[in-house]
Amino acid sequence: MAEAPSTDRDDTPAHSTAAGMTASAAEEWFVREVLPLEAALMQFLQHNWRNKSDIADLRQEVYVQVYDAALKQIPDRAKPFVFKTARNLLINRVRQLQIIPIEAAVDVTALDTAVDVPGPEQTAVVRDELRRLQTALDHLPPRCREAVVLGRIQGLSGREVAARMGISEQAVSVYLINGIRALVNEVYGASSDRKVTS
Amino acid sequence: MSGERDNAHSATDIEVQAADWLQREHFWDWSAGDQTALESWLAESSAHRVAYLRMKSGFARTERLVALRTPEKGEGRPLWPGFLGLAASVAAIAVLSVAGALYLSRGSASSEARYTTPIGGHELVRLADGSQIELNTDTALRLSMEDGRRIARLERGEAYFQITHDEAHPFVVETAGHRVTDLGTQFSVRDEPGRMEVILVEGRARIDSASAQDQKESAVLVPGDLAVATIDSMAIRKETARDIANALGWRHDLLIFHDTTLADAAASLNRYNRNKLVIEGPAAARLTINGTFGTHDVEFFARMAQSLFRLHASNNGTTITISR
């Protein structure tokens, strides 16, 4: 983040550099337009890529490329841009693997579906988000769940959670890290594949 | 692109680190030094930054869980106000439809626009009525409003139409000698010298010979139909969903070959590229391949043909010659 000059107490935001502006605009765009597409993106990746252990890396790579592109110029429309990036990434990965009948990995019919069909109704997603979060919370291991409930729901600090649970602060951190990751993945709708594997 | 592959850490490792920063920031004492450390971690790579943004935004949405809070337990510190702001911005998901807003305001009597793509080009045109037209390589399309009809003249090339049906304002695609009238549809039209191809994907459309009044031929196409119309004939055949998807691969900048001869594959690639492939000799031309290629993958195609069939390839910058 660009530092605002300390003497400047104007209400107008201090733009110390043009680059700083672009970066925060790109971040804001990424959070607002790209992250909500994650469930559809994950579905697309899972449908079109055999090796499930690659999916998290592929998703990250799509995000990196999309974000880097947005730093230069924010794309007009997020969804086609994200899926185009994902598709190109899959094609390039296949190419690196040097497998020739590429159809085996990239199903063009599915590409059509993923790009053209609108994602799940957003209002419905919001409506049952609490229910899904609650389910995800219930699936956490008991101690991890307790730490998350005390910290995130009851609003205790990490130190207070440690005291309440009678465990070390490091252990609280580990529980919180795992709990946050599980809940966040639930929020983005990536939980369906987890249920299948466990 | 810089930092395209960051294999030093897997996505999962980075996700754990991002979650760690977040919990430290929110549940423990947070100093200016911690903030500096976080910022330098974020600056290390875009992978760190996107993972952190994702985690932070997702964590904000778990704010919803506070609804489950039980009042009898001891209250801790209040929740951070910042969470609510982020959650609100995530809910506002509406995809920007910055319509490259076009012409065809329905009232106006005459308006006209012409769109072209160069060799290798691929453009999406969005019309004010909600219709969309995708232009493939080396295509010219003229749009106009005439007598309440929406007219698209395909002067050359290929286009994919997704038309918002409007009984009062029929959408008509014309090529030399032929006309396709939308009856609520998605279809592609490809114009070649002396020949027009229409693939109907969704809905229905009517195809007419526009010029030959005497022996006017007309047919209604249904999904899966491929119509080939020449000056004096029209033939319709059923295509499989897979063949149609393959034929429309260009919409994803892909060419899909299925038992395709090298000669035909080269001809397809040549539509999209200035660097032309030439397959020399019947023996090489008859070899068949399966696979998916980017429309611009001439060099990759040549390398593959070379290694797969042990052919020779030479590239002089404007032509790649493949031979035994």
Question: Is the pLDDT score of A15 beyond 60?
Answer: no
A63 shares contact with chain B (CB less than 8 Å): yes
Q: Is residue A182 situated within a structural domain?
A: yes
Q: Which residue of A has its CA nearest to B6?
A: A61
Q: Who wins on pLDDT, B279 or B254?
A: B279
Handedness of CA A123, A124, A127, A133 (dihedral sign): negative
Considering all CA atoms of chain B, what is the largest pairwise distance in Å, rounded to the nearest integer?
90
Residue-wise pLDDT tens digits, B76-131: 333 222 222 222 222 222 222 223 333 344 444 446 788 888 888 888 888 888 88
Angle between helices A18-29 and A55-72 (to 10 degrees): 140
B86 shares contact with chain A (CB less than 8 Å): yes
B19 shares contact with chain A (CB less than 8 Å): yes
The residues, ordered by sequence, that sit 6+ positions from B85 with a Cβ below 8 Å of its Cβ are none
Between chains, do B65 and A1 touch, taking CB under 8 Å as contact?
A: no
Domains and CATH numbers, chain B: 11-91 (no CATH), 112-243 (2.60.120.1440), 253-323 (3.55.50.30)
Question: Is the pLDDT score of B20 beyond 90?
Answer: yes
| Residue B193: predicted pLDDT | 80
Q: What CA–CA distance (Å, rounded) separates B77 from B57?
A: 21
Q: Is residue A4 situated within a structural domain?
A: no
B73 shares contact with chain A (CB less than 8 Å): yes
| Residue B77: predicted pLDDT | 32
Contact yes or no for B175/B205 (Cβ under 8 A)? no
* B19 contact residues in A (CB cutoff 8 A): 176-178, 180-181, 184
Between chains, do B4 and A65 touch, taking CB under 8 Å as contact?
A: yes
CA distance B216 to chain A (A): 35
Contact yes or no for B111/B105 (Cβ under 8 A)? yes
Highest mean pLDDT pick, B6-20, B60-74, B92-106: B6-20
Q: Smallest Cβ distance to A109: which of B49, B74, B241?
A: B241
- Mean pLDDT, all residues of chain A: 74
Are residue A32 and residue A62 in the same domain, yes or no? yes
Are residue A84 and residue A68 in the same domain, yes or no? yes
Are residue A176 and residue A99 in the same domain, yes or no? no
Are residue A81 and residue A111 in the same domain, yes or no? yes
Query: B292 forms bridges with which residues in the sheet?
Result: B256
Q: Smallest Cβ distance to A155: which of B39, B75, B246?
A: B75
Interface of B with A in 246-305 (CB under 8 A): 246, 248-249, 251-252, 254, 256, 258, 289-294, 300, 304
pLDDT grade for A64, boundaries at 50, 70 and 90: very high
* A187 contact residues in B (CB cutoff 8 A): 58, 61-62
Closest by CA position to B145, among listed B159, B166, B162, B161:
B166
| Residue A21: predicted pLDDT | 52
Q: Is residue A2 situated within a structural domain?
A: no
Question: Is the pLDDT score of A99 beyond 90?
Answer: no
* A22 contact residues in B (CB cutoff 8 A): none
| Residue B152: predicted pLDDT | 92
Contact yes or no for B46/A67 (Cβ under 8 A)? yes
Q: Is residue A77 situated within a structural domain?
A: yes
| Residue B277: predicted pLDDT | 93
| Residue A97: predicted pLDDT | 66
Question: Domain of A46?
Answer: 15-119
B75 shares contact with chain A (CB less than 8 Å): yes
Are residue A70 and residue A129 in the same domain, yes or no? no
Between chains, do A184 and B19 touch, taking CB under 8 Å as contact?
A: yes
| Residue A92: predicted pLDDT | 82
The CATH code of the domain that includes A167 is 1.10.10.10
Are residue A98 and residue A169 in the same domain, yes or no? no
Full-model pTM: 0.45
Sheet containing B319-323: give its strands across: B276-279, B319-323, B312-315
- The region of weakest confidence among A139-143, A160-164, B72-76, B81-85 is B81-85
Are residue A141 and residue A54 in the same domain, yes or no? no
Query: B187 forms bridges with which residues in the sheet?
Result: B161, B200
Interface of A with B in 80-99 (CB under 8 A): 84, 87, 91, 95
Mean pLDDT over A59-68 rounds to 95
B168 shares contact with chain A (CB less than 8 Å): no
For A107, how many CA atoms within 13 A lie in the half-sphere containing its CB?
13
Are residue A103 and residue A157 in the same domain, yes or no? no
| Residue A112: predicted pLDDT | 45
Q: Is residue A10 situated within a structural domain?
A: no
Question: Is the pLDDT score of A109 beyond 50?
Answer: no
pLDDT grade for A98, boundaries at 50, 70 and 90: low
What string of DSSP letters covers B70-107? -TTSPP-SPPPTHHHHHHHHHH-----------S--TT
Choose one of A119, A149, A173: the last residue of a domain: A119
Choose one of A119, A141, A162: the last residue of a domain: A119
Choose one of A85, A119, A153: the last residue of a domain: A119
pLDDT grade for A12, boundaries at 50, 70 and 90: very low
pLDDT grade for B216, boundaries at 50, 70 and 90: low
Alpha carbon B37 to chain centroid, angstroms = 41
How many beta-carbon contacts under 8 Å exist across A and B?
198
CA distance A127 to chain B (A): 11
Run of H or E residues at B314: strand B312-315
| Residue A5: predicted pLDDT | 38
Between chains, do B64 and A133 touch, taking CB under 8 Å as contact?
A: yes
Are residue A59 and residue A115 in the same domain, yes or no? yes
Taking the alpha carbons at both ends of chain B, their separation in whole angstroms is: 37
Residue-wise pLDDT tens digits, B219-274: 888 888 898 888 777 888 888 887 888 888 888 778 888 888 899 999 999 999 98
Q: Is residue A8 situated within a structural domain?
A: no
CA distance B95 to chain A (A): 7
B92 shares contact with chain A (CB less than 8 Å): yes
Are residue A75 and residue A134 in the same domain, yes or no? no
A108 shares contact with chain B (CB less than 8 Å): yes
Q: What CA–CA distance (Å, rounded) separates A180 from B21?
A: 11
Per cent of chain A over pLDDT 90 is 34
Per cent of chain B over pLDDT 70 is 81
Q: Smallest Cβ distance to B93: which of A122, A173, A185?
A: A122
Q: Is residue A7 situated within a structural domain?
A: no
Mean pLDDT over B297-316 rounds to 83
Are residue A114 and residue A142 in the same domain, yes or no? no
CA distance B108 to chain A (A): 28
Q: Is residue A1 situated within a structural domain?
A: no
Are residue A39 and residue A104 in the same domain, yes or no? yes
Q: Who wins on pLDDT, B290 or A99?
A: B290
What total of structural domains would you count in chain A? Answer: 2
Q: Smallest Cβ distance to B76: which of A1, A115, A154?
A: A154
Interface of A with B in 20-49 (CB under 8 A): 27-28, 30-33, 35-36, 38
| Residue B316: predicted pLDDT | 87
pLDDT grade for B67, boundaries at 50, 70 and 90: low
| Residue A47: predicted pLDDT | 86
